[in-house]
Amino acid sequence: METFFNPRSVAVIGASNSPFNLGSTICRALSEFSPYDGQVYAVNRKGESVHGCQGYVAVTDIPEEVDLGVIITPAKVVPAFVRQCGEKGIRHIVIESSGFSEGGQEGSAMQEEIDEAARTYGMRIMGPNCLGVLNTRNKFCCFYGIQKDNFDSFIQDNGTISYVIQSGGIVVIVLESFVADVVRANKIVSIGNKSDIDEADMLEYFNRDDSTEVIGMYLENIKDGRKFLETAKRMTKPVIAFKVGRTSEGSRAAQSHTAGMANNDLIFDNACKQGGIIRAQSISELHSLPKIFTHMPPLKGKRIAVFTNSGAFGGITADLLVEAGLEMARLSPETQEKLSRTGQIFNVANPIDLGPALSMQTFLEIFDILLSSDEVDGLLPVPSLWHPMVIDAIIELTKKCQVYKKPAAIYTPNAVHKTVAYRQQYHVPLFESPEEAVRALSVSYQYWHHMAMKEESSCRRSYEMQRHGESGLYQSMIQSA
């Protein structure tokens, strides 16, 4: 699988100098936008070079060894090129062309030809009908159609969030959103019709990949429900997955897009629950939620303390927290007394209404009191940024969260364009709405709880094994059932 993200050499099959040629945009990105240092070859009818990439008429004409074939030609010639790749000894192929099983009977027949060739030559295939692969570490990118300004802004940092995305449009939204967020993408793969490599293979790969902290998925269908479930159950990293097809209309629409049998939403939902996968409620959660995992410790209980200097948000967040299955922390008289002593607080019961005038020192004392209290598992701060001091206080809060090992999902009550600008400027993990902040706390707890239960049951199992051997384990399982 590594070869898809780190090929030493690539043949872009179908890249030419014709106007509107999509393959040429891949050659351009790899040779002109990117510092990618592998060899790139172009394969086209004339054997012409494209954007400085040496051209050949056939893959088999390339004199050097080729790691990866990227095919972006009309569908009808794809099977022949796949066989050519096989002849050349290429074992990894990305097929970006569309017009296969998503396009009726003729397409399905060609798809079978490809599968046959893959078996014959022992090739692994990504696609068809996909956007390709992006690796921000080595700047390898075979997304067709990518423009220079997008490439530069998308590729700039080494992120830790990797994605399996069954659609190019979603890739763009995620990468665009990261430009104004505190996390960045690591690797992205668009798996299209997944004739060979599917979402479960990619989950497995990203789970082992050292540079991946959180995995995101956009799916239109599940290829193999049992395989997906078994893989999900082995995950040791947070996975956030959005799937279309909750309704029959959504399924039908997805089917025309990437050729899946989309009627397996229940199977997917069940796999998410059993595997501790977070089912995203909107596309935006794919990019908004990862930061609660990368930038904050996990939420290990349900009791949340809210504090705000905009009184309305006490009630708004209390409603949202309770509806999300979390709880408003009950602060003891002792804790309330400590809070009172910090300064002019309007209301020391949770939600804590800070009132408008507070010093940095008061903020820091409040953070310590709440984070150190065993009545509180996490924070939902809603501070108005009426003074530069408040943003400094927020930055200190993010550090204290690491010290006390409790998370804060911070929302500043602003128009979204202002929040995004603050987040970008100060590089703090701000959420864009109170709903998003509450959801972040909720998924943090959900994931922590799943992993804790899993560990507990695995400990219990190994304890029983040690104590009684296999049969003892069996006995104890029967008793607990």
User: Does 58 help bind a second copy (rule: CB under 8 A)?
Assistant: no
Q: Which of 172, 182, 267, 364 binds a second copy (CB under 8 A)?
A: 172
User: Does 434 help bind a second copy (rule: CB under 8 A)?
Assistant: yes
Measured from the CB of residue 321, what is the shortest distance to a second copy in angstroms? 7
Cis, peptide link before residue 7, omega less than 30° from 0: no
User: Does 7 help bind a second copy (rule: CB under 8 A)?
Assistant: no
CB distance 186 to 159 below 8 Å: yes
Q: Which residues lie below 8 Å from residue 317, measured CB to CB, with a gap of 6+?
A: 306, 308, 351, 380, 382, 434, 437, 438
Q: Which of 31, 270, 336, 384 binds a second copy (CB under 8 A)?
A: 384
- The CA distance from 245 to 253, in Å, is 8
User: Does 188 help bind a second copy (rule: CB under 8 A)?
Assistant: no
User: Does 258 help bind a second copy (rule: CB under 8 A)?
Assistant: yes
User: Does 261 help bind a second copy (rule: CB under 8 A)?
Assistant: no
| 29 DSSP 8-state letter | I
**Candidates 63-71, 204-212, 428-436, 469-477; binding stretch for a second copy (CB under 8 A):** 428-436
The two structure tokens encoding residue 73: 């030609």
User: Does 73 help bind a second copy (rule: CB under 8 A)?
Assistant: no
CB distance 313 to 435 below 8 Å: no
Measured from the CB of residue 71, what is the shortest distance to a second copy in angstroms? 18
Q: Which of 262, 292, 390, 437 binds a second copy (CB under 8 A)?
A: 262
Query: Phi and psi at residue 304, in whole multiples of 5°?
Result: -110, 135
Q: Which is nearer to a second copy, 345 or 401 (CB)?
A: 345
**Candidates 252-260, 270-278, 373-381, 472-480; binding stretch for a second copy (CB under 8 A):** 252-260
Q: Which of 164, 170, 202, 217 binds a second copy (CB under 8 A)?
A: 170
CA atoms within 13 A on the CB side of 184: 16
Question: Interface mask (CB under 8 A) for a second copy, residues 8-47, using x and -?
Answer: ------------x---------------------------
- The CA distance from 430 to 432, in Å, is 7
The two structure tokens encoding residue 150: 């997008």
- The CA distance from 185 to 2, in Å, is 17
User: Does 150 help bind a second copy (rule: CB under 8 A)?
Assistant: no
CA atoms within 13 A on the CB side of 90: 32
Q: Which of 91, 124, 227, 246 binds a second copy (CB under 8 A)?
A: 246
User: Does 180 help bind a second copy (rule: CB under 8 A)?
Assistant: yes
Largest Cα–Cα separation, the chain:
82
Neighbours of 76 (CB within 10 A): 12
User: Does 439 help bind a second copy (rule: CB under 8 A)?
Assistant: no
Cross-strand pairs, 33: none
Q: Which of 69, 297, 351, 407 binds a second copy (CB under 8 A)?
A: 351
| CA dihedral of 371, 372, 373, 376, whole degrees rounded to 10 | 30
The string of DSSP letters for 160-216 reads -EEEEES-HHHHHHHHHHHTTSS--EEEEEE-TT-SSS-HHHHHHHHHH-TT-SEEE
Measured from the CB of residue 207, what is the shortest distance to a second copy in angstroms? 24
**Candidates 33-41, 118-126, 348-356, 365-373; binding stretch for a second copy (CB under 8 A):** 348-356
Length of the chain: 481
Q: Which residues lie below 8 Å from residue 147, measured CB to CB, with a gap of 6+?
A: none
Measured from the CB of residue 308, what is the shortest distance to a second copy in angstroms? 8
| 109 DSSP 8-state letter | H
Q: Which is nearer to a second copy, 209 or 353 (CB)?
A: 353
CB distance 42 to 26 below 8 Å: no
Q: Which is nearer to a second copy, 251 or 342 (CB)?
A: 251
Collapsing DSSP to helix, strand or coil, 243 comes out as: strand
Q: Which residues lie below 8 Å from residue 66, measured CB to CB, with a gap of 6+?
A: 9, 10, 11, 41, 59, 88, 89, 90
User: Does 49 help bind a second copy (rule: CB under 8 A)?
Assistant: no
CA atoms within 13 A on the CB side of 317: 37
Q: How many residues bind a second copy (CB under 8 A)?
A: 67
**Candidates 53-61, 119-127, 238-246, 458-466; binding stretch for a second copy (CB under 8 A):** 238-246
User: Does 96 help bind a second copy (rule: CB under 8 A)?
Assistant: no
Q: Which is nearer to a second copy, 322 or 477 (CB)?
A: 322
Measured from the CB of residue 144, what is the shortest distance to a second copy in angstroms? 10
Q: Which is nearer to a second copy, 310 or 372 (CB)?
A: 310
User: Does 168 help bind a second copy (rule: CB under 8 A)?
Assistant: yes
Q: Which is nearer to a second copy, 290 or 413 (CB)?
A: 413
User: Does 416 help bind a second copy (rule: CB under 8 A)?
Assistant: yes
Q: Which of 58, 179, 364, 389 binds a second copy (CB under 8 A)?
A: 179
- The CA distance from 368 to 362, in Å, is 10
The two structure tokens encoding residue 188: 């992205």
Chain residues that interact with a second copy, rule: CB under 8 A: 20, 145, 166-170, 172-173, 176-177, 179-180, 218, 220, 244-254, 256-258, 262, 282-284, 306, 310-319, 321-323, 328, 347, 349, 351, 353, 356-357, 384, 413-418, 420-421, 432-435
